[in-house]
Amino acid sequence: MAKPYFEIYNECQNKLSHFTLVKNILIKVGLLFTAVSLIVCGINLINENQDKALVMASAISFILTASCFLALLPVNQKIKDLRSQRKYRTKNMLVHS
């Protein structure tokens, strides 16, 4: 037996909300790492002695920032796919009703 339209729509909405939540978390974590990177770089510029720990912290925070924002690409693509599926199902349902 085929699922009712509202169940399919609810499943799609739930998936979409989960991916949107992941996207928002990744953006916030990326912004946090960006702030940490800027603070560490500022300390590095002010400090006359180049501490290896600060240089490593700066490099690590830049890498974490880049990885957070690069992780957004597949999440955004999945959100676009889910939205297009939802639109297709809505149009499909209206045509067959």
Provide the residue ranges of all domains of the chain, joining segments of one domain with +: 10-96
The pLDDT, as a whole number, for residue 74 is 92
The pLDDT, as a whole number, for residue 66 is 92
Task: Supply the DSSP symbol for 2.
Answer: P
Whether the model clears a pTM of 0.85, i.e. scores above it, the answer is no
d(CA 38, CA 28): 15
Question: What string of DSSP letters covers 43-77?
Answer: HHHH-SS--HHHHHHHHHHHHHHHHHHHHHHHHHH
- Which residues does 20 contact at the CB level (< 8 Å), separation at least 6? 79
The pLDDT, as a whole number, for residue 94 is 53
What stretches in the chain show pLDDT beneath 50? Answer: 97
Tokens 């702030």 sit on residue: 35
